[in-house]
Structure 1
């Protein structure tokens, strides 16, 4: 029985090696597709955390821009420069929804972090 189980293990090892090579090939292909772009080069040097950091920063910048736009429109309306109340209210609603989404994302990330910290090693 040992020769048969040994042959089965050898076939299993060969399959694992073949799958590993496929993963490496696909990874190389993805890296070559993203390589020429200058914006992704710093993220690759930082690893996966750099990609997440960049995505989070761009999302927060977007929320900040929406809030600044809403504030500018509100100030303009108060000074009489902007007469379209619907535009002002829409900008304020967009900023509010973006902030609420950011807050919910922060809450989920914090909850996930706390759950990870409670895990036994």
Structure 2
């Protein structure tokens, strides 16, 4: 099977036409990328909420309102893990910032 120049140009034009039709029919997906500051702020709020829940659970246990020590300890561990993860992210960000500031210009 031989392909001549006219056949090749016809195939090319068909591909371009189909591409135009497809680009017009599909709406562009413009999903907003999350802002780094907003992501960090929401993460900090989540950690703060978890710590508040842990403090409330501990206070409730101390007042005798609940007797489920396992639930209290679970809340405290969740808060502790969230805090440690946040601390590690902060340390990594500070290290990255220092590395960037020490780069020669």
User: TM-score if structure 2 supplies the norm length?
Assistant: 0.70
Partner Cα distance (2:29, 2:83) in 1 = 33
Unaligned runs of 5+ in 2: 1-22
Aligned partner of 1:75 in structure 2 is 59
Unaligned runs of 5+ in 1: 1-24, 35-39, 44-50
- Superposition map of 1:1-121 within 5 A: 29-31=28-30, 33-34=31-32, 51-121=35-105
Specify whether residues 108 and 30 from structure 1 end up closer, same or farther in structure 2 by C-alpha distance, changes over 3 A only. farther
Q: Taking CA–CA contacts closer than 8 Å with sequence separation of 6 or more, which of the two structures ends up with the larger relative contact order?
A: 2
Q: Per-residue deviation at 1:29?
A: 3.1
User: TM-score if structure 1 supplies the norm length?
Assistant: 0.61
Partner Cα distance (1:30, 1:74) in 2 = 46
Partner Cα distance (1:118, 1:83) in 2 = 54
Q: Per-residue deviation at 1:95?
A: 0.2
> What CA RMSD, in Å, does the superposition of the two structures yield over aligned residues?
2.0
Partner Cα distance (2:60, 2:66) in 1 = 5
| Bigger Rg over Cα | 2
